[in-house]
Structure 1
Amino acid sequence: MADRNTTGEDLTFRLATQSDYDAVMSISEGVYEGRDYLPAFYRSFVDDPDVIVFLALVGSQVVGLRASKITENGTAFIVKAARVAPDWRGQGIDGRLSLHQDEWMRQNRPTVKYKRSTAFSLATGVVESMNKKMRYIFGMPFIEYQCGPGLWWRQDPAQLAQLEPTGLPDVVPLQDADDDFCTAVQKWLPAGACGGYDGKPVILVDWDPYTLSPTNLKRLQANNTIYTLNHEGESSLSLSNTYLSPTVRILCVQIYSKDFPTVLKHLLRHLKDTSHTYRSDVLCVGVFVPQCELDDTIHDLCKQTLQMEQVHPPKAQALVYESEM
């Protein structure tokens, strides 16, 4: 049975296929000012049995999309992407897609007990909508800068070593994380990170909320570079991934540590890795840290020392929401 949007048009819903790629890209044109992640991930979303991608259609025209990933051993899902065609925005289509998705989850994934989503604090309309529909859990500072390949450290990434703090060991690839490691890292998470449905600690990984657990860290290693640093009995954690958007290469870095020197040590390693591999790409670097007091310091590092171009003003945050099914 067809649903209706606010203008009375009949809406139908179906699962997306690979052949819908062009139609989906057409409704996503211009999203995130050319830094949209969906072109890089759409095909893998459709192929992943744990990612459910629904389309909304008026007749045969694709007018909306919702993609969600089943997580936490089948007990939760996270909203990975939501799109509405420009000419159809403001007509309730995403809300209808959300209701259809939730009902499908209840019928086809009965073990799912709650859903999680994120919003950018500067997207005020989205935040207002989320505050009405879901429960706010916590926020993390999000710092984003862009640079071309001509900067001094892009041309010779080894020069980043001169910025490294003294007295700290190198960051090293994470091997087998256990419960003790997760407990050690948990103390660096934002306030409220354990305030979700199940009371377990939650981390952000490229805007997606996951429970901090050995199982999830092992799964995340498939698509992320993960480092740790152990010093004076304290453990820290960082994760990054990189992909091409329509206009720039995106590098997304999350760092969970106690202070700026350890944050800096982690960040420089991820910048060095990416610059070595992608020397000629324009790079957009997004950094998530749990401590609000580090926001200004990291902005100064990116703008003054690394000489990158600021994308968003200070005090921007990634906001995490949750609701029960």
Structure 2
Amino acid sequence: MSVSFQSSAEEDVGVAVAVREATVGDYDQVLSIARVYDGRDYLPSKYKHLVTSANCKGYVGVVDKSIVAFLIACIVDDGTTLVTRAGRVRSDYRGKGVYGQMKQLVRKQIALQGRVEHETFTTSDINYGKNNTKFKKIFTERFSKTVGSYKFQISDVCQLHLDSSPGLQLLDHVAFENLFSSPATCKYLFPHNKIVVDWVPLKLLSTNISYILSSTSLALASLSSDCLWNDVIYSLLTIGSYYMCSSCIAYQLDVFGSDVTYLRHHLMAHVQNIVRLTANENCGTVWLEIYTNGDVDRSLIRSVLCEFCRPQSINTTTIMHVLEKPLKPSNVKTFTTCKDCEGTHKLQTSCNNTML
């Protein structure tokens, strides 16, 4: 059964929009909606995975039979949290309430499932600044992270050799279970009781480890022996994830903890990973984004990167904001299309015709 739901002109201000689940076949139309992230859009490389994933669904907003908006809704945290991603709306429909209607309908539909308790998402300080008043009325800001962006060429990376005993540990699923089972380590690395990887906020649950350790990620940890850590098993954790885009390889490096003893080794290992990933790709440009808390000196990061590549700093300081709100069930008009009569019917309404 293909489920769609729609707003009406009587209920919403602006253009009425019909919403349905996205399919793999919608790829071209969805990607033509808008050019985003200055050519570093992750959706082209992740679209099929996201719309077919067990915990994610894509939704398209349709006006006059044309796809004009899109978003991804992911259910994480043991099914209790909604995370929205990849939102976009066609330029000629911006400011007309289309995306707002679409997002509200998706929220209501998901809330009807009964298990989802919260909605959370991350946004840049540019978007947060533009929509600050609206966000503050609806969401609570849980915390924020500093974002440093660096651009360099693969050809500028020098030959890298890690020290024989760098103190780095490659983390697998079992290691993350041990990490999440250590209250002292979680309190130190994740003071807000959440881990944000690839812009997705997650609770410290074993069921979320599969999202953290994807096929495109590399997780490394270290523990400095310079001081007493009181049951902390890792004093620095870094998780790198990547995607290929039209202009470069985009590599996102999430940093947890403020112990910089082995920071150089972490950064070197991730740059080595970037070189390895691009060995068979026609890609010479790297866009590296590093997400840290306020205790890590960005000038130190840049000086370390300068040891083995020639990074160009793209910005001064930008911020990732993590926002959250309760998600409460409410009524939503839900429709299906009838094969025989080609009409629409509420799901609660019985119909003698066969439903798609």
Place the TM-score, normalised by the shorter chain, in its bin. 0.7 to 0.9
Tell me how many residue pairs correspond in the alignment: 307
Q: Report 1:107-256 matches (<5 A).
A: 107=112, 109-123=113-127, 124-153=129-158, 156=159, 158=160, 161=162, 168-174=166-172, 176-177=174-175, 181-182=179-180, 183-189=183-189, 193=192, 201-223=193-215, 224-232=217-225, 234-235=233-234, 236-256=236-256
Deviation of residue 8 (structure 1)?
4.3
Paired position in structure 2 for 1:26: 32
Deviation of residue 2 (structure 1)?
4.1
Paired position in structure 1 for 2:76: 71
User: Residues 33, 304 of structure 1: CA spacing in aligned structure 2 closer, same or farther, 3 A cutoff?
Assistant: farther
Indicate whether 1:297 and 2:305 are aligned. no
1:248-300 superposed Cα distances (whole Å, 9 cap, x missing partner): 11111112133223333222211111212314431111111223442333244
1:74-100 superposed Cα distances (whole Å, 9 cap, x missing partner): 111111221011111111222111110
Paired position in structure 2 for 1:324: 326
Deviation of residue 238 (structure 1)?
1.8
User: Residues 40, 129 of structure 1: CA spacing in aligned structure 2 closer, same or farther, 3 A cutoff?
Assistant: farther
- CA RMSD in angstroms, aligned pairs only: 2.5
User: Residues 284, 269 of structure 1: CA spacing in aligned structure 2 closer, same or farther, 3 A cutoff?
Assistant: same
* Residue ranges of structure 1 left out of the alignment (5+ in a row): 194-200
User: Residues 41, 275 of structure 1: CA spacing in aligned structure 2 closer, same or farther, 3 A cutoff?
Assistant: same
Indicate whether 1:56 and 2:61 are aligned. yes
More helix by share: 1
Deviation of residue 204 (structure 1)?
0.8
1:202-242 superposed Cα distances (whole Å, 9 cap, x missing partner): 01101110112333224422332222223435413221111
Would you say the 8 A contact 1:260–1:294 is kept in 2?
no
Q: TM-score, normalised by structure 1?
A: 0.85
Secondary structure (helix, strand or coil) at the match of 1:266 reads helix
Deviation of residue 312 (structure 1)?
2.2
Matched letter for residue 213 of structure 1: L
Would you say the 8 A contact 1:174–1:227 is kept in 2?
no
> How far apart, in 2, do the equivalents of 1:140 and 1:2 lie?
36
> How far apart, in 2, do the equivalents of 1:230 and 1:293 lie?
16
> How far apart, in 1, do the equivalents of 2:245 and 2:237 lie?
26
Q: TM-score, normalised by structure 2?
A: 0.78
Worse-superposed segment, 167-176 or 263-272: 167-176
User: Residues 277, 11 of structure 1: CA spacing in aligned structure 2 closer, same or farther, 3 A cutoff?
Assistant: closer
User: Residues 209, 116 of structure 1: CA spacing in aligned structure 2 closer, same or farther, 3 A cutoff?
Assistant: same
Identity %: 19
Indicate whether 1:276 and 2:279 are aligned. no
Which has more radius of gyration?
Answer: 2
> How far apart, in 2, do the equivalents of 1:178 and 1:36 lie?
29
1:159-204 superposed Cα distances (whole Å, 9 cap, x missing partner): 5x4xx7x98523433451366523343234465x1xxxxxxx1011
Worse-superposed segment, 220-229 or 294-303: 294-303
| Aligned pair partner of 2:18 in 9, 12, 18 | 12
Paired position in structure 2 for 1:198: none
Matched letter for residue 97 of structure 1: M
Would you say the 8 A contact 1:143–1:298 is kept in 2?
no
> How far apart, in 1, do the equivalents of 2:259 and 2:241 lie?
22
> How far apart, in 2, do the equivalents of 1:184 and 1:168 lie?
23
Matched letter for residue 323 of structure 2: Y
1:75-131 superposed Cα distances (whole Å, 9 cap, x missing partner): 111112210111111112221111101111112x21000011001113321444433
* Residue ranges of structure 2 left out of the alignment (5+ in a row): 1-5, 328-356
Matched letter for residue 288 of structure 1: Y
User: Residues 93, 303 of structure 1: CA spacing in aligned structure 2 closer, same or farther, 3 A cutoff?
Assistant: farther
> How far apart, in 2, do the equivalents of 1:229 and 1:8 lie?
53
Secondary structure (helix, strand or coil) at the match of 1:247 reads coil
Secondary structure (helix, strand or coil) at the match of 2:87 reads strand
> How far apart, in 1, do the equivalents of 2:136 and 2:305 lie?
31
Paired position in structure 2 for 1:38: 43
> How far apart, in 2, do the equivalents of 1:23 and 1:148 lie?
32
